[in-house]
Every structure is written in structure tokens, then in C-alpha cells.
Structure 1
Amino acid sequence: MPQTHYHLEIESDPRNLITVEEFVNYFAVDLGLDEKKINGLLLSVTEATTNAIKHGNKNDINKIVNIDVDVVGDYLKISIKDQGSGFNPAEIPDPTHPENLLKDSGRGVYLMRVYMDEVDFKVTPEGAETILKLKIK
């Protein structure tokens, strides 16, 4: 029987994204997710982690990103925490708006919302947290 909690801690270095991908593949296969769900999950967790490294922790390798994965009933809850000051998701420009189509950033949150059942953002005293929920059953 697969476990119900998975944890990964990385330094804020984009080179650690490969470790994040391996981590996502590991728990997704362990939980028996299908390939379509795994692809959306990989993309969403990688985007959230990239945001945590780049925007939250400002690429400071002395700052940590924590990823916690929990099976809660029929859902997978993934929490990506950085040590940054957070942001207002309402201020992110719509990447589907014509003036934003060619921009090379700004699609991460949009893609998370496409592939996940729920996307939430919290600012805590320790930093910012992105919470992704995916129905797995």
C-alpha cells in the first residue's frame, strides 16, 4: 500500500527542478496515477516550484523550498512553500489576453488552474505557499 505523505526539501536553485520532477514521478507512480494526470501534475508542481525559487526566494540558494504531498480522501494535496513575501494572484496578467500571448512568463498559474482541481495561495509568516489539489479517484 502506498504511503499517504511525501516530502521534499530543495535549495532555491533551478538545477534542482530535475529532483522535483523525479519526486513527482516517484509519488505519482507510487499512488498509481494515470499518465495524463501525471503530466498535468508534473507541469503544475514544476511551475509552482519554479515560481517559489525565482519569485519567492529570488534564486537565493540559502533559502529553501519545501514540497509536501498528502493523500486526503479522494484528493492529492501538494503544498509548495518558499521563504518569500508572497504575491497577489489577482495581479497576474491573463496569459490568454492578446497583449500577453507572446510574453515568456505569466503562464504558470494559468496552467496550474487548467490541470489541477483547486489552486490556492497563502502568505504565512514563514513565506508563501502554493496549494494544489488534484482529484485522484
Structure 2
Amino acid sequence: MPDTERPIIEKTLHVQSDLQVLAEVRRFLREVFAGVPDDPVDRMELAANEVTANIIRHAYQGQPEHPITIRAALRDDRICVSFIDHGSSFEPDEVPQPLFDGSQEGGFGLFIVSQVVDRFTYHPNEDENHTSLCIFLP
């Protein structure tokens, strides 16, 4: 369900699919959400880092030079970050739960995101994938 409420602040960042952009994404979010309490911003930074890394690693299979659009919005009662990519899609319900016995190195991204944000949506279509994260403010 798209937000129809007008944001207080909304900014867009365009990056390419390279893990080197993760620091830039985190900086961007800190700038947009300056003045918001640390806890929700820390949580959003972690979730956005995971989503961006997953887009790069999985949607684009680690191939560089593919576009990712990231839009951050501050609203009266929440912070939201949305992502648009043109890579391979996936079914979130089909991603296996991670094992916490030390036997796997990866596979924790979607679990982490689901634990730290209040709202996570993912909508693939023929041309692009839309991911949206929101955290409600105290």
C-alpha cells in the first residue's frame, strides 16, 4: 500500500550495484534522518544495508554497474526507505529461515530486516522490484 501522506523530507540516492556503495547508503540515511532519535535510525541503517547488499548479491548476482534507486522519507510518525532495482525477483515466503547453530555464513539478511523494521513490503513486477521499509517513531 503506497503512502499518500506528504513527507516532511524526501530524498533520492542513485547508486550502482557494487558493495562499495554500502557506506554511501549509510551516510545518505544519516543525513536524511538527522535529528531523528538514534535507535530508529540505527535500525533503519542496518535494514537498508542488508537490503542493498541483497539486491547487489542476489538480484544482480554480484554484477556491477546495475542501477539501484533508494528513496528515504521522514514522515510525522515514521521513517521509510524504498528501493527500486531491475534484477531478479524472489519470493520472500520461500526464503528458508536461517540456522543459528553456526553452520552457515550467510542467509540472515531477510531475517534481520524482518526483526528490525515495523513494516517490510516487497513487490516484484516484470520490469522492476520495489522494496519498502518503515520504522515508526516513538
Indicate whether the TM-score tops 0.5: yes
Establish whether residue 6 from structure 1 lines up as the match of residue 11 from structure 2: yes
Which structure 2 residues correspond to residues 16-35 of structure 1 after superposition, within 5 A? 16-29=21-34, 32-35=35-38
CA displacement at 1:62 relative to structure 2: 2.7
Asked whether the equivalents of residues 118 and 136 of structure 2 are also in contact (C-alpha less than 8 Å), the reply is: yes
Q: Which residue of 2 aligns with 1:81?
A: 84
The amino acid that maps onto 2:117 is M
Q: How far has the Cα of 1:41 moved from its partner? A: 1.0
- Equivalent positions of 1:1-137 (< 5 A) are 3-29=8-34, 32-95=35-98, 97=99, 101-137=102-138
Query: Counterpart of 1:78 in structure 2: which amino acid?
Result: V
SS in structure 2 of the partner of residue 103 of structure 1: coil
The answer to whether the Cα contact below 8 Å between 2:82 and 2:130 also exists between their aligned partners in 1 is: yes
Give the gaps of 5 or more residues in structure 1: none
Backbone CA RMSD of aligned residues: 1.9
One-letter code aligned to 1:91: E
Could you list the structure 1 runs, at least 4 aligned residues long, displaced by more than 6 angstroms after superposition: none
- Listed as ranges, the gaps of 5+ residues in structure 2 are 1-6
* Secondary structure, aligned partner of 1:102: coil
- For this pair of structures, how many residues does the alignment match? 132
Matches of 2:78 and 2:41, distance apart in 1: 14
Percent of pairs with identical residues: 23
Shift of 1:18: 1.0
**Does the Cα contact within 8 Å between 1:12 and 1:57 map onto a contact in 2?**
yes
- Assess if the C-alpha contact under 8 Å between 1:70 and 1:76 holds in 2: yes
The structure in which a higher percent of residues are helix is: 1
Q: After TM superposition, give the deviation of residue 109 of structure 1 in Å.
A: 1.0
CA separation of 1:36 and 1:71: change in aligned 2, threshold 3 A: closer
C-alpha change, 1:49 and 1:37, in structure 2 (3 Å) is same
CA shift for structure 1 position 126: 2.4
